[in-house]
Chain A
Amino acid sequence: MVLYENNKEKYDSIPKEKFVQVQKDQEIHDVDFKTKPIGFFMDVWLRFVKNKASVIAAVIIFILSIFAIAGPSMSDYRYDEQHPELVNMPPKIPAIAKMNLGIFDGAYLLENRQYDNLSDPEKYPEGCVLEILNPRLVNGQRIVDVYVDYYKYMGLEDEDCYWLGSDYLGRDIWTRLWRGTRVSLLIAVISVCCNVFIGVIYGSISGYYGGKVDMVMMRITEIISAFPRIVVVTLFIMVAGTGMFSIIMSLVIKDWVDTARMVRAQFYRFKGREYVLAARTLGVPDMLLIFRHILPNSIGPIITSSMIAIPSAIFSESFLAYIGLGLQAPEPSLGVMLSRGQKVLLYFPSQLVFPAIVISLLMISFNLFGNGLRDAFDPTLRGAE
C-alpha cells in the first residue's frame, strides 16, 4: 500500500484496459529448474573434489593400498623367507644402479677395515671395492674405511638384489614393507569399524533415550576414558597375548567411546526436530526412529571422524609394536619394522627410512583426506561455493 500511496499518480495514469485477469482461463505450472538437482552425497563429492590436497591424499591412499595388496607379490621373496647369509643388505634396484646416480646401487661403507685384507680375494672379491677412505694407523695397523659393492662383496651376481635391502634375518624389506602396510591398514580399518559399530549403537541409545539411561551410559564411558590408555592396552595384551586380534581389541577397548559421544551429541541435536516428533506421533517404533530417521543425519560426522581415526589407529599400532607389544614374529607391521629400524639406524638407515616414509605418507594422507571429508560433509558449507 505504501508503494501505491507513494506512486499514486503514476499508477493511476495507467489505463484500466491494460490490466487483464491472467488466472481466469489459464493454468499456472511450476517451472523446471534449469540446473540438475544435486543430492546430499553429490554435493559432498563436488565440494570434496574442489579440495586439491584431499584429492591428492586420496590418490596416495589408493596407491599405497594397491601396493599393500599387490606389493608383496611383486618381489620373488616371501615376507618370512630368511637368508641368514645375506643379512642387512643395502637397497639395490638394477635399473637405477646402472644409471650411476649413487642411490639404490647396493653400495655400503665398511668402517674400520684392515687395509692389508683388501687384497685378499676371499674377503674382498674382485671388483667389490669402490673407494678407500680415511686411511689411518690404529695401534700400528693400517685401517681404512671402504666403500664396497656389497652384493659383490657377499659374492652375489649383478642380477641378485633386494630392492629396498634386507633385514637382520636376510628377509626382503620390500615384501615386508608392503605386507606390513597391509597389516597396519587392516588393523586400523577393522579397529575403526569396530569402534564405529559399538560407538554408534551405544551413542544412539544413550542420546535417544536420554535421562537416566543417558546418565548411566555416559558415566560408564567416563570410567572407561579415565583409565590410562597404555596401562589398559598393556594389561590387555599381557592377558590375551600379542597378535592382530589383541592389537585390534586393545585399540577398540577405549576408542569407541569417542564415537559414542559424538553420535550421542548428534542425537540430542536431532531428536527434538519436528519430523522426528511427527514420526513418533504416527507411531513409528523407537528402533526405526533411531536408525532410519535420526542416525542418517550423523553419517557425515561419523565418516569424517572414522577417517581421522584411521591414522591414529595406525600410529597406535606402531607405538605398541615400537614398545615391543606388536604382532607376533614373523608377521611384519610398519610399527614392527620401525622398531627394529630404529635400533640399527646408524648402520643400516634404509631399514628405518622406508617404513618411516610409508607411515608418514599414510598419516598425512589420511589426515588430509579426513579434513577434506569433514569440509565436504559440513552442511553449513552447502551451496556456499
Chain B
Amino acid sequence: MRKQKKSMLILLSAAALAAAVSGCSSSSEPADESIVFTEAATEATSAGEAESDSAETTDPNGDTPTDEGYGILREASTSTIGSLNPLTYINSYSSTQIKRSSLTLYTYFPNEDYTFCDLSGELAAEDPIQVDEEGKVWQIKIREGVTWENGDTLDANDVYYTWQMMLDPKLANLRASNFAKDVIEIENAMNYFEGSCTWDEVGLKLIDDLTLEIHTVTNHEPREIMTHLAHPANCIINEEYFEKGMNADRTETLYGTSEEYWISAGPFIVDSWTNDAEINFKKNPNYIFKDKIWLAGINIKVVEDASTQLQLFDNGEIDYVKLSADNFQKYEEDPRVLYSSANSVTHITLNTINPDQPILANESFRRALFYATDRATIADMTANEPADYIVPTPHIIDLESGTAFRDTEEGKANLHENYGYDPELAKELFDEALAEEGIDKVTLTMIYNDVAPQTIMSEYLQQSWAQIFGTDKFELKLQAMPSSQRGDLMRSWGTDPTCYEISWGGWVSTDLMPWNAFKYWTTYYSAKNEPFLSEEFDAVFDNANFGENRFEEGVRLNAVAEMERMLVEPANIIPVVESIDKYLKSDRLELTMQNWANRVEWGWDYAKIVE
C-alpha cells in the first residue's frame, strides 16, 4: 500500500512536470473542412452580440430603471483606492470611485443613442449664465431638492464650502492649483492659496442658496466653464464630515479615508468599504439622474495580480476584466475582446535638474535617448501601440466635426519616420553629448514599477540603449519600487533635485480639449513629475487656453502641435507607447454603450445585468 502511494506520488509529480513542459506530440492535418463548429456556451461575449441576444429574452431590468436598480456589477481592481477625498486624490482610479459616489456641477453622460458623450449639468440646473459682456463673470444655478445620502440638503452652500476648502492655504491640497487654473483661471484663486490675498478677493461668490458666481481672469465660453467644473477634483464635499475628520491645526482631514468619514451623494452610495480590499456601492435612489442607472450596485475587489483577475473572470466571479500584456496573447484573435484607446501616452520622464547627472540637461543626450528607443519592438512586447508623440490618438481637436488631432496635418507633421527609432543618429548624438560634457561614460538609474509593462520596457531599454551607445560608454541601472513610492519620489524633485534620474510617466488628460492636456508640463502645475519649466511653453499653453484669439480657426490646433513639438523635439520627455486597453466582459453584463466613446468609455456604470 505504501509502495503504491509512493508510486502514485512519483507519477503525479511526473505528470505535473510533463504538463509544464509538454505540448502535444500527436499531429493532425489543419484546416480540415469536416470540423464541425457549434455555438459555444462562452462566459464572455462582445457588446453587440450580447445586446441582440438579450433583446429576444425577457429583460429582468424592466423597461426603465427602478429606484433600487437590478443586479450587482462585479469588478476587480489592481489599484487600491486609498482616499476618496477629491481634493487630494492622486491616481485616476481613485477619481473614478470618487465620481461614482459624489456630485459635480457638470458631468459627462452617454448621449441619447449611447454613441458619444454629452457634457451637461449634474448638480447645476443649467449651463452657466453669462453675467457680464466680456464673458468673465458666470452664474451657476443649482438644482433644488438635491440631498446627501443622509437626507441633508445639498445646495450652493456645499459647493461654496468645497471651493473654500479646495483653496485653503493651510490644507494646501494637491488639487488646489488644478482648480485655480486649469481650463479656466479663477480670479485671485492662486493668490489666496499662496496667502497673498483674502478670500473676499477670490472670484468665487455665493449669491444665494441656489446660485453661485465665478469670476475668471479671461473671457470664456460656457463649455469651458462646464469642462473645468466637471473635473473629478471638483466633486462636492460634505462640511459636516470634512470637519469631523479635521485635525486641530486644520492642516489635514480624514475625509474620505474610511466609511466613518465619508458620505455619498452621487449615482451610487458607499455601502461598505474595507480599505485596500473591497468596496461596495449601491444605487442612490435619490440621485438626480437615477433613470440613467440600471445597476443595483457595484462590488469592487482589490486583486493586484492580473492573472488572478482573469481567473476570477473565468470562474464567473467578476463581470469584466482588463487584459494585461501577459494574458492578452491568449485572446489576441478572439472576437469577444473589447478595445479602447487609452487616454494617455506612456513616456520616459527625465529629471533634468539632477545635480548628480548634469548630462540629463544636455539636449543632445536626451535626443540620443529619444532616437535610441525602439518603440515598435516595445509595443509588440507589451501589446500596445508605438508612440513618438504625446497627444493620444482619441484626443479630439474639433468637437463639432469629431476630428482627432492625430488625423490633422499638424498632428501628422509631428510624427517621425520609423516611430523615431534611428540608432545611428542616436549614437551620433550620444557621442556629441559626451564630448560636450567632457565625460567618457554615462551611468543612469531608472526607477520603475515592478509590474509587467514597465518591467518589460525598462529591461528592454537597459540592454538596447547599451547596445546602441556601447556597453563601455553607457549603463542603465534599474530600480523597482511600488507605484505610490515611485510617484512620491518623482514629485519631490522640487525639494530634492537628486530624488530620481529617469523614470516612467503617463498622464490621463482631457481628451476633448487636447490643448488643456498639456497642463501637466506648465510651470504652475502642482504635481509635476519632472522639472520641465519653460516660460515659452507656458505662453503657448496660456494662449491656447486663455488667449483672446483662441477661438479663431487653427489657433488651438497650432498651439497643440507646437506644445507637442516643444516637449518631444528637445526630448524633454520621451514618448514610447500608447496603451490600448482590452477587456473581456461576461454574458450577464450588457453594455448600453454602442461603442467606446471619449469620457464615458464603455460606460460600465450605465450597463445592465441581464442574468
Interchain CA distance A58-B334 in the complex, whole Å? 51
Stretch at the interface among A41-49, A131-139, A273-281: A131-139
Interface residues of B in 438-492 (CB under 8 A from A): 450, 452, 455-456, 458-460, 462-464, 477-482
Expressed in whole angstroms, the minimum distance between the Cβ of B425 and any Cβ of chain A is 21
From A84, A140, A241, A343, give the contact of B326 (CB < 8 A). A343
B239 at the interface (CB under 8 A from A): no
Closest Cβ neighbor of A339 among chain B residues: B450
Most chain B CB within a 10 A radius of its CB, from A82, A241, A350: A82
A346 at the interface (CB under 8 A from B): yes
B32 at the interface (CB under 8 A from A): yes
B40 at the interface (CB under 8 A from A): yes
Residues of A within 8 A of B (CB): 80, 82, 84, 87-88, 90-91, 100-109, 111-115, 117-119, 124, 129-132, 135-144, 146-150, 168-169, 241-242, 324, 328-330, 343-347, 349-350, 352-353, 357
Closest Cβ neighbor of B330 among chain A residues: A111
Is B20 touching A130 in the complex (CB atoms < 8 A)?
no
Closest Cβ neighbor of A112 among chain B residues: B334
Most chain A CB within a 10 A radius of its CB, from B25, B479, B482: B25
Is B333 touching A80 in the complex (CB atoms < 8 A)?
no
B17 at the interface (CB under 8 A from A): yes
Expressed in whole angstroms, the minimum distance between the Cβ of B411 and any Cβ of chain A is 28
Q: A114-B333, A130-B27 are in contact. Are A169 and B311 (CB under 8 A)?
A: no
Q: A118-B31, A138-B42, A138-B334 are in contact. Are A130 and B24 (CB under 8 A)?
A: yes
CB-CB under 8 A from A82, the residues of chain B are: 459-460, 463-464
Is A346 touching B311 in the complex (CB atoms < 8 A)?
yes
Q: A139-B336, A324-B450 are in contact. Are A347 and B18 (CB under 8 A)?
A: no
Q: A137-B39, A168-B456, A347-B327 are in contact. Are A103 and B27 (CB under 8 A)?
A: no
Q: A135-B36, A137-B39 are in contact. Are A349 and B23 (CB under 8 A)?
A: no
Expressed in whole angstroms, the minimum distance between the Cβ of B505 and any Cβ of chain A is 20
B45 at the interface (CB under 8 A from A): yes
Residues of B within 8 A of A (CB): 16-28, 30-32, 35-40, 42, 45-46, 48-49, 305-307, 310-311, 326-327, 329-336, 377, 380-381, 450, 452, 455-456, 458-460, 462-464, 477-482
CB-CB under 8 A from B26, the residues of chain A are: 130-131
Is B333 touching A113 in the complex (CB atoms < 8 A)?
yes
Is B310 touching A115 in the complex (CB atoms < 8 A)?
no
CB-CB under 8 A from A105, the residues of chain B are: 22-23, 25
Is A131 touching B334 in the complex (CB atoms < 8 A)?
no
Expressed in whole angstroms, the minimum distance between the Cβ of A349 and any Cβ of chain B is 4
CB-CB under 8 A from B477, the residues of chain A are: 328
Is B37 touching A131 in the complex (CB atoms < 8 A)?
no
Is B21 touching A132 in the complex (CB atoms < 8 A)?
no
15 additional contacts, CB 8 Å, given A137-B38, A346-B307?
A: A82-B460, A105-B25, A109-B23, A115-B37, A119-B31, A135-B36, A135-B37, A136-B38, A136-B42, A139-B48, A140-B49, A147-B24, A169-B381, A242-B480, A343-B326
Expressed in whole angstroms, the minimum distance between the Cβ of A128 and any Cβ of chain B is 9
CB-CB under 8 A from A328, the residues of chain B are: 477-479
Q: Lowest 3 A-B CB distances belong to which pairs?
A: A107-B23, A136-B40, A129-B30
Closest Cβ neighbor of B44 among chain A residues: A138
Interchain CA distance A90-B24 in the complex, whole Å? 12
Closest Cβ neighbor of B28 among chain A residues: A131
Interchain CA distance A101-B331 in the complex, whole Å? 29
Interchain CA distance A129-B27 in the complex, whole Å? 8
Is B23 touching A90 in the complex (CB atoms < 8 A)?
yes
Q: A105-B22, A131-B26, A329-B458 are in contact. Are A138 and B32 (CB under 8 A)?
A: no
Is A84 touching B30 in the complex (CB atoms < 8 A)?
no
Interchain CA distance A17-B452 in the complex, whole Å? 103
Closest Cβ neighbor of A87 among chain B residues: B381
Closest Cβ neighbor of B17 among chain A residues: A353
From B18, B40, B330, B381, give the contact of A102 (CB < 8 A). B18
Expressed in whole angstroms, the minimum distance between the Cβ of B435 and any Cβ of chain A is 29
Expressed in whole angstroms, the minimum distance between the Cβ of B334 and any Cβ of chain A is 4
Is A343 touching B307 in the complex (CB atoms < 8 A)?
yes
Q: A329-B462, A353-B17 are in contact. Are A137 and B37 (CB under 8 A)?
A: yes
Interchain CA distance A113-B31 in the complex, whole Å? 12
Is B459 touching A330 in the complex (CB atoms < 8 A)?
yes
Is A108 touching B17 in the complex (CB atoms < 8 A)?
no
Expressed in whole angstroms, the minimum distance between the Cβ of B30 and any Cβ of chain A is 4
From B32, B310, B381, B481, give the contact of A132 (CB < 8 A). B32
Is B463 touching A100 in the complex (CB atoms < 8 A)?
no
CB-CB under 8 A from B31, the residues of chain A are: 115, 118-119, 129
CB-CB under 8 A from A146, the residues of chain B are: 30
Is B46 touching A139 in the complex (CB atoms < 8 A)?
yes
Closest Cβ neighbor of A116 among chain B residues: B31
CB-CB under 8 A from B332, the residues of chain A are: 112
Interchain CA distance A84-B459 in the complex, whole Å? 11
Closest Cβ neighbor of A100 among chain B residues: B25
CB-CB under 8 A from B28, the residues of chain A are: 130-132
Is B307 touching A344 in the complex (CB atoms < 8 A)?
yes
Interchain CA distance A346-B305 in the complex, whole Å? 12
Q: A82-B460, A87-B381, A328-B479 are in contact. Are A350 and B326 (CB under 8 A)?
A: no
CB-CB under 8 A from A102, the residues of chain B are: 18, 22-25
Is B23 touching A112 in the complex (CB atoms < 8 A)?
no
CB-CB under 8 A from B307, the residues of chain A are: 343-347
CB-CB under 8 A from B17, the residues of chain A are: 353, 357
Is A84 touching B311 in the complex (CB atoms < 8 A)?
no
Is A108 touching B381 in the complex (CB atoms < 8 A)?
no
Is A84 touching B381 in the complex (CB atoms < 8 A)?
yes
CB-CB under 8 A from B24, the residues of chain A are: 102, 107, 109, 130-131, 147
CB-CB under 8 A from A113, the residues of chain B are: 333
Q: A112-B333, A130-B26 are in contact. Are A343 and B306 (CB under 8 A)?
A: yes
Interchain CA distance A344-B324 in the complex, whole Å? 11
Interchain CA distance A104-B21 in the complex, whole Å? 6
Interchain CA distance A133-B452 in the complex, whole Å? 30
What would be 16 A-B contacts, judged by CB atoms less than 8 Å apart? Answer: A82-B459, A102-B22, A107-B25, A112-B330, A114-B333, A118-B30, A135-B35, A138-B334, A139-B336, A143-B37, A169-B460, A324-B482, A329-B455, A329-B480, A346-B307, A350-B21
